[in-house]
Amino acid sequence: MFGGIKNMGDLMKLASQAGKIKENMAQAQERARNRTAAAESGAGMVKVSVNGLGEILSVQIDAEALKDPETLGPLITAATNLALQKGKEILMEETKTAMGGIDLPPGIM
């Protein structure tokens, strides 16, 4: 019964750090916003750049890719998905740093 009191102390300690954690998370998001990830598809015919928040920063399409409209969509999709995955990895790294090295469970971000 009294074992819960010790856990209550841990909970209170965590609660007292909530402000610092919130500040760290805000800084992590800002760092993620300022980091970029890029991906390409079609041997470089389509290039997509994103930031760590998943915002698309640029899309570059080689003129050669425009000659085949049927493959252009899949090339854009592939490059975008890969770039967004890399951006998500950036956010996870920054979040882990903000949380003092604690790994977040899969699917949180």
Q: What is the pLDDT of residue 14?
A: 61
Could you tell me the residue ranges of all domains in the chain?
A: 3-98
Residue type, 81: N
Query: Residue 108: in which H helix or E strand, if any?
Result: none
Q: How far is CA 42 from CA 57, 59, 73, 75, in A?
A: 19, 13, 11, 6
Q: How far apart (Å, rounded) are the C-alpha atoms in residues 24 and 21?
A: 5
pLDDT digits (tens, 9 = 90+) for 73-103: 999 999 999 999 999 999 999 998 888 777 7
Residue length of the chain: 109
Give helix then strand counts, H and E, for the chain.
3, 3
Q: How far is CA 45 from CA 11, 38, 59, 76, 93, in A?
A: 53, 13, 11, 9, 29
Whether pTM > 0.85 for this model: the answer is no
Residue 36: pLDDT band (50, 70, 90) is very high
- The pLDDT of 6-20, averaged and rounded, is 68
Q: How far apart (Å, rounded) are the C-alpha atoms in residues 88 and 81?
A: 10
Q: State in words which class domain 3-98 has.
A: alpha beta
Residue 49: phi, psi to the nearest 5?
-120, 135
- The pLDDT of 15-32, averaged and rounded, is 88
- What percent of the chain clears pLDDT 90, i.e. is strictly above it? 66
